[in-house]
DNA sequence: AAGTGGTCTAGACCACAGC
DNA sequence: CTGTGGTCTAGACCACTTC
């Protein structure tokens, strides 16, 4: 039997949820893996199957797990197709969505600026990796991104040539740094572009930009990445359902 | 005992969910009302409490019900305090949120323009009520709204002086027209203001605007209102959680 | 003290996947 | 056929609200 160590005042299913989330975060099970069956988990922790079900229900609704009747319960593969598809429309919507091309413009280690430090919950001035990146579709620039990562977690990124990063960062984080993005929070605002941003995005200075600030969390709810992306507002479109 | 009539192949909790949702749509219980306790519902339909709980869980996660431990389960009040609070920030965030003042600038009956007709799923040119409305906080204009309503449903609005409409339309729809808004869909884009919009919102022509197009649905999922609102982009802020 | 929702258990049976 | 998740039951005890 394995102990659920967390705060005893919390309900059992909550503690099991946290325990499972931690095991996923620790890459005990990788995305796509089958986790133990409900019965096995119940026996393992000496709790009832109903309680295990409730913990798993939570993780499914949080998007970490995926049930399949008759087969079992899987760790879900992270599929953040990036903010691009949620927030921007493309004229070239001819059928399939393409993954936008990415170009890393800059990579440096620096002391964490205060906004990045507070988003990542680390000390101001602690060493971070800063990336500048431009994302394009059909050669047209759509997002200019500034990305901050705690150096301790992502040191292996520094050994890799930036032109081998590929078009998506999150798979790179998983493969190279063992860091998995599970959820994220984004805040959108509108800004007027300065001349540098305008040049990057091939717009005119003074044109409106959408600014997307994102904090990405691992399955343990620790913030691991902070980024600020800017894209031309004329391409922006966002749809919500409210209830 | 009351029969859950729906398709017998569906799980019991699903059929109960549908039954309860229908009773809410039929205004059997009004927003704010206490529904019968879990035990009462179980006895009423001769099913077990666990099954009732699961049905109620669904409705809670769909936003139709609201549980309060020790008190009971309530029909959730539609609290669309307008897009204002979801999409805009206020400097005067000192404590409580105020309901913005509203001024109806214009009310007319007209043939439905094609965008309104397709959103409301009525014939193009069918008679609709068109309202223009300005929403302000502390005297500062924040949203300029154009609203379209099917005349058949909302005819009673035409008998009411517009200066008695009050600051919120949805309570008015409920009280005067028996029309209840349950859900909505919104699409956000960015536009550059023309001189008329700029004057209304006290900005300069050419300043960026957030455009919010909303279709509001009744509990039966029929569209009942279409509106297009414009607000100054410098006040815009939107937060999403992704998973 | 009585009534409500919240947690937890133990077990039955069903539906589906895979051998 | 076996093992998995999905549905449903019946009942215990806890935590909170109200009177």
pLDDT tens sequence across A169-219: 988 998 899 898 888 898 989 999 999 999 999 999 999 999 999 999 988
Q: How far apart are CA A100 and CA A63, in angstroms?
A: 24
Among B21, B64, B183, B243, which would you mutate to test the A interface (most chain A Cβ atoms within 10 Å of its Cβ)?
A: B243
Q: Where are the domains of chain A?
A: 12-75, 81-235
Residue whose token pair is 């507002």: A233
Decide: helix, strand or coil at residue B241: strand
Q: How far apart are CA A39 and CA B64, in angstroms?
A: 33
B63 touches chain A (CB under 8 A): yes
Please tell me which residue, A5 or B222, carries the higher pLDDT value: B222
Q: How confident is the model at residue B171 (pLDDT cuts 50, 70, 90)?
A: confident
Whether the pLDDT of residue A93 is over 50: the answer is: no
pTM of the shown model: 0.80
Whether the pLDDT of residue B190 is over 50: the answer is: yes
Residue B3 is predicted with a pLDDT of: 67
| Inter-residue contact A211 to A235 (CB < 8 Å) | no
Q: How far apart are CA B136 and CA B145, in angstroms?
A: 11
Within 7 Å of a protein beta carbon, the nucleotides of strand C are 3-11, 15-18
Residue whose token pair is 């980024």: A227
Residues contacting residue B234 through CB under 8 Å, at least 6 positions apart: A190, B207, B208
Residue A92 is predicted with a pLDDT of: 47
Write b or e for each residue in B201-227: b if 16 or more Cβ atoms lie within 10 A of its Cβ, otherwise e: bebeeebbbbebbbbbbbbeeebbbbb
Residue B92 is predicted with a pLDDT of: 47
Decide: helix, strand or coil at residue B240: strand
Q: How far apart are CA B171 and CA B81, in angstroms?
A: 11
Q: How confident is the model at residue A95 (pLDDT cuts 50, 70, 90)?
A: very low
Instruction: State mean pLDDT over B208-237.
Output: 91
Q: Nearest nt (C1') to A39 (CA)?
A: D4
Distance from CA of A116 to the nearest CA of B (A): 18
Among B87, B88, B240, which would you mutate to test the A interface (most chain A Cβ atoms within 10 Å of its Cβ)?
A: B240
DSSP for B77-113, please give it: P-----HHHHHB--S--SSSPPPPEEEEEEEEEEEPP
Q: Do A188 and B240 touch (CB under 8 A)?
A: yes
CATH architecture of B81-235: 3-Layer(aba) Sandwich (3.40)
What CATH number does domain B12-75 carry, 1.10.1130.10, 3.90.550.10, 2.120.10.30, 1.10.10.10? Answer: 1.10.10.10
Distance from CA of A63 to the nearest CA of B (A): 6
Q: Give A221 CA → C11 C1' in Å.
A: 36
Instruction: Give A88's DSSP letter.
Output: B
Q: What residues are paired with B127 via a beta bridge?
A: B111
pLDDT tens sequence across B57-73: 999 988 889 999 999 99
Residues contacting residue A126 through CB under 8 Å, at least 6 positions apart: A111, A112, A117, A150, A151
H or E segment to which residue A85 belongs: helix A82-87
pLDDT tens sequence across B115-129: 999 999 999 999 999
Answer yes or no: same fold for B12-75 and B81-235: no
Residues contacting residue A69 through CB under 8 Å, at least 6 positions apart: none
Residue whose token pair is 């009971």: B72
CA angle centred on B83, ends B77 and B85, rounded to 5° = 85
Q: A48 is written with which tokens? A: 């009832």
Maximum Cα–Cα distance for chain A, whole Å?
64
B14 touches chain A (CB under 8 A): no
- Three-state SS sequence of B214-237: EEEECCCCCEEEEEEEEEEHHHEC
pLDDT tens sequence across A129-174: 999 999 998 888 999 999 999 999 999 999 999 999 988 898 899 8
CA angle centred on B178, ends B176 and B183, rounded to 5° = 115
């Amino acid at each position: 039997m394995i102990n659920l160590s967390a705060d005893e005042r919390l309900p059992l299913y909550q503690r099991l949820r946290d325990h499972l989330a931690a095991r996923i975060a620790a890459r005990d099970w990788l995305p796509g893996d089958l986790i133990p069956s409900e019965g096995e988990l119940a026996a393992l922790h000496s709790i009832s199957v109903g309680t295990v079900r409730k913990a798993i229900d939570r993780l499914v609704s949080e998007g970490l797990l995926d049930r399949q009747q008759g087969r079992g319960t899987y760790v879900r593969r992270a599929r953040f197709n990036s903010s691009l598809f949620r927030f921007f429309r493309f004229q070239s919507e001819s059928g399939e969505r393409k993954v936008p091309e990415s170009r890393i413009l800059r990579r440096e280690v620096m002391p964490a600026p205060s906004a990045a430090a507070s988003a990542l919950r680390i000390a101001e001035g602690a060493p971070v990796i800063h990336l500048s990146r431009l994302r394009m579709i059909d050669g047209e620039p759509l997002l200019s991104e500034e990305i901050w990562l705690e150096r301790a977690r992502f040191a292996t990124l520094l050994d890799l040539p930036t032109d081998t990063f590929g078009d998506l960062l999150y798979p790179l984080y998983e493969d190279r740094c063992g860091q998995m993005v599970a959820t994220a929070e984004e805040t959108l605002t509108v800004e007027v572009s300065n001349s540098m941003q305008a040049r990057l995005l091939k717009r005119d200075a003074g044109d409106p930009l959408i600014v997307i600030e994102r904090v990405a969390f691992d399955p343990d709810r620790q913030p691991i990445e902070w980024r600020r992306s800017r894209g031309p507002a004329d391409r922006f479109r966002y749809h919500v359902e409210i209830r």
